[in-house]
Amino acid sequence: MTKRLTVPKTYKLAIGGKFPRSESGRTYAVATPKGDFLANASLASRKDARDAVKAAIAAGSGWAGATAYNRGQVLYRVAEILEGRRAQFVDEISSQTGASTAAATAEVDEAIDRWVWYAGWCDKFGQVAGNGNPVAGPYFNISVPEPTGVVGVIAPQDSALLGLVSAVAPALVTGNTVVVVASQRFPLSAISLAEVLATSDVPGGVVNVLTGSPAEIAPWLASHPDVHALDLVGAGEFDWVDYQIAAAETLTRVLPPESGADAAAPSLERIAAFTETKTVWHPKSLV
């Protein structure tokens, strides 16, 4: 019997629904905790970051214009595909982090459950965050949440999958698009998640995944005039104060870093952080 060669996986970037290599041609080696080679990952450049923002802008109107119910269906479909690929993600997480199979399985299961949790809020958040306001006059006054726009995310650096899902999913609920910088140490699951998104019903460009150095890419996301919000949940070990200063130049909303077990924990506050409130006045009928 002829022994076949394995087909090693090539991990690229995910920009605009496609999987290009970095325009710089750079890569870096991803290894096991023991130092054994796993794969090469793309080392994204600032040009890749600009391309990702451009793709996110192009996808914004379609995703924000979808009904909340439809967005919930799409995000739930992502969870379905994740469920079908559990074994792959368990293997990737275990290989990258050195976690036991049981621990890696628990992380994948929690990531799937968290994705379902956020999917379920798509068509409910507007009722919770919006309201009818009392006014002194013959008017209706209604406030409703709307997406902020393009959200730049520095994913938690100590998590292969759960941290990434916890940071990306809440931004998608109300119709934002995302450019996320994955964990530099554990980037492989991030690209596999991008493959899941590409084979679900998520439109290309809604989620763009960059791998490489957050310290290199984050300043360009923070200062980009078309990035409307910046989630620094995983930027605690970097010069995140400088990112806040850069973001202030373009009036970009910033969520500061979080740490500990509750970093990026599921909450309605994380959804609300990426919304703007639109208030509508309408006269009452006098008939």
| CATH label of the domain that carries residue 182 | 3.40.605.10
Look up the pTM and report it: 0.92
**For residue 104, is it within any domain?**
yes
pLDDT in 10s for each residue of the chain, 287 residues: 678 888 888 899 999 999 999 999 999 999 999 999 999 999 999 999 999 999 999 999 999 999 999 999 999 999 999 999 999 999 999 999 999 999 999 999 999 999 999 999 999 999 888 877 777 778 787 888 999 999 999 999 999 999 999 999 999 999 999 999 999 999 999 999 999 999 999 999 999 999 999 999 999 999 999 999 999 999 998 999 999 999 999 989 999 897 655 667 889 999 999 999 888 877 876 55
**For residue 70, is it within any domain?**
yes
Rounded CA-CA distance 52/33 in Å is 30
**For residue 1, is it within any domain?**
no
Rounded CA-CA distance 261/244 in Å is 24
Within 10 A of 111 (CB to CB), how many other CB atoms are there? Answer: 26
**For residue 246, is it within any domain?**
yes
Q: Residue 261: CB partners within 8 Å, gap ≥ 6?
A: none
Q: Does residue 230 contact residue 201 with C-beta atoms inside 8 Å?
A: no
| Percent of the chain as helix, strand, coil, to the nearest 5 | 45, 20, 40
Rounded CA-CA distance 237/157 in Å is 9
**For residue 5, is it within any domain?**
no
Q: Does residue 57 contact residue 206 with C-beta atoms inside 8 Å?
A: no
Range of the domain at 48: 27-31+38-283
Number of domains in the chain: 1
SS3 state at 30: strand
**For residue 231, is it within any domain?**
yes
**Residue length of the chain:** 287
**For residue 87, is it within any domain?**
yes
